[in-house]
Structure 1
């Protein structure tokens, strides 16, 4: 059994509660926005509803993923649950892509055939409520992510930041639309506000997809962390004979590094182990969340 399994599962249970609360918040605002969209003919409200539908579904799947992880058997997965988190985060991005396509099509149509909006008051007040609620959840999830980073929590705080900013744009768009009601150019406020919402969606999709795709493909650590490893090796250059390879990958919050070093044949195993422990301790101190394995080797490892 992995020695860190207990604390890891406890951490995931805390995250599961946060993700569940996010789903419940998204579902509560979805029902209100659905009512507002049915009462009005505002594209901004409809686009926001589409975005909320996608995000509510994504939050539900993220919650279910985290729930399954939190109930997992300790030690079943030696490398943690990072890939499950990344897959769930990519699901968030995938659902958002569908919403983006529908919203863009609606905005283009409204620019070509402008429509005067009506009965948007409920949508305005729902957007004000949603802005406050999502801002609160955004800050809470951000603090938890900084304390215990993970792909799914990273995507969640980005998601709720996006929700708060977009709802703020919806408030502004609907407010301007009503303030200048009757002006010929005011017909274009609604589709223009919808395009702003689409911009936030596209930005979030890009951030979530690029980061989590790299983690799923086991991309090596970025250059800054590799430099940390090379500096540590340089500091111990007289304690090993040759460097034969480096492998690295991420799995959720954990960083896995494998180093292959050759040692002088005259050294005892006890001396080799002291060097390994010294180098391992130094690297794990400088790379948070790292799991370092240093293996003796006599030839290059690819």
Structure 2
């Protein structure tokens, strides 16, 4: 699927995804909250807490998306895209905190089991919540592929992880209703907490990489080098530097051109390389420095 190259169009898609996430979180909190009070299930409670955190983080993410859409100014000459990494890091911390709380409560419930109620109604509610979550995640992933937004991608991962507590709640309610098994509810809630912690680590790692100006992935650097080697008029290149900030990629490269060529000819060679790089990395910031051989 083609990446959106127009910044305004990309930010518009990101805003739509942010609003959709907030609306979905509100609906999920309402229906899961009813199921929690009706059933008394800790797994359902874990899913409610996760949806409440979804609402908070989605609201923060939307604020970050709106801030990142602001054009460069005198104090932020490279734009405001880095706020996406800050928001993603904050989201990872919230996910980790909620996972630890869910796991702790699950351990307590495992020691002191509590009977559940209205399991059938709870299962229906959790199935509806799974359908809503799946629809939102598919849309968010579509937007993330089109725009390259880290915030939208992180939010999609967060909502995908929300499906795991919901699935665990369905299994726990079914075990209680049909077999009278109470220990499955806390055990599954602790497993869901472990999955949430893994997702939080993945989000934090990507955010740290952006905030610390880490190089792009090796395969992406290899693609840049291949494009440079295949550009006609270049006799070599050196000092290739890359980094990512939010959804934008920054590329700096020194190219070696025959020193006997005119300035216009050398500029044309550099412009050709820049065009090829932008075709491969839409919305990238490319700086080409020309060195005479």
TM-score by length of structure 2 reads 0.87
Match of 1:187 among 172, 182, 193: 182
The answer to whether 1:200 aligns with 2:195 is: yes
**Matching residue of 1:3:** none
Does structure 2 conserve the Cα–Cα contact (< 8 Å) formed by 1:218 and 1:250?
Answer: yes
1:12: Cα distance to partner? 1.4
Q: Aligned equivalents of 1:265 and 1:68: distance in 2? A: 44
- 1:163 aligns with 162
1:225 partnered with 2:220: yes
Structure 1 residues 218 and 39, CA gap change in structure 2 (3 angstroms): same
Partner-residue secondary structure (3-state), 2:227: helix
Matching residue of 2:241:
247
Q: Partners in 2 of 1:63 and 1:120 — Cα distance?
A: 35
> How do residues 120-199 of structure 1 correspond to structure 2 at under 5 angstroms?
120-181=119-180, 186-199=181-194
Contact 2:148 2:247 in 1 (8 A): yes
| Secondary structure of the corresponding residue to residue 215 of structure 2 | coil
Q: Distance in 2 between matches of 1:118 and 1:40?
A: 4
Q: Distance in 2 between matches of 1:278 and 1:153?
A: 32
Verify the 8 A CA contact 2:103 2:190 in the aligned structure 1: yes
- Preserved CA contact (<8 Å) 1:259 1:294: yes
Q: Could you tell me which residue of structure 2 aligns to residue 109 of structure 1?
A: 108
CA contact (8 A) 1:79 1:251 kept: no
Report the alpha carbon displacement of residue 108 of structure 1 after superposing the two structures with TM.
Answer: 1.3
2 CA distance for matches of 1:34 and 1:12?
Answer: 33
Q: Deviations over 1:142-170 (max 9, x none)?
A: 22222222101111222222223432332
Q: Structure 1: give runs of 5+ residues left out of the alignment.
A: 1-5
Aligned counterparts of 1:26 and 1:239: Cα–Cα separation in 2: 52
Instruction: Determine the C-alpha separation between the residues in 2 that align with 1:146 and 1:268.
Output: 41
Where in structure 2 are the equivalents of 1:39-78 lying within 5 Å?
Answer: 39-70=38-69, 72=70, 74-76=71-73, 77-78=76-77
Preserved contact between residue 233 and residue 257 of structure 2 (Cα < 8 Å)? no
1:52-87 deviation per Cα after TM superposition (whole angstroms, max 9, x unaligned): 2222211111122223445x3x34355344311111
Unpaired stretches in structure 2, ≥5 consecutive residues: none
TM-score, with structure 1 as normaliser: 0.84
The Cα offsets for residues 142-201 of structure 1, whole Å up to 9 and x where unpaired, read as 2222222210111122222222343233222211221112xxxx1211112212321331
Distance in 2 of aligned mates of 1:273 and 1:28: 56
TM-superposed CA distance for 1:296, in Å, is 2.7
TM-fit CA distance, 1:236: 5.1
Cα displacement (A) at 1:208: 1.2
1:35 Cα deviation after fit: 3.4
CA contact (8 A) 2:102 2:189 kept: yes
Q: Is the 8 A contact 1:55 1:95 kept in 2?
A: no
Q: Distance in 2 between matches of 1:151 and 1:239?
A: 34
| 2:251 aligned with 1:257 | yes
Decide whether aligned partners of structure 1 residues 237 and 140 sit closer, same or farther in structure 2, where only a CA change above 3 A counts: closer
> How many aligned residue pairs are there?
287
Once the two structures are superposed, what CA deviation does each residue of 1:8-66 show, in whole Å capped at 9, x if it has no partner? 23431332122112112112221332333334432112211221222221111112222
Q: 1:237 to 1:17 in 2, by over 3 A?
A: closer
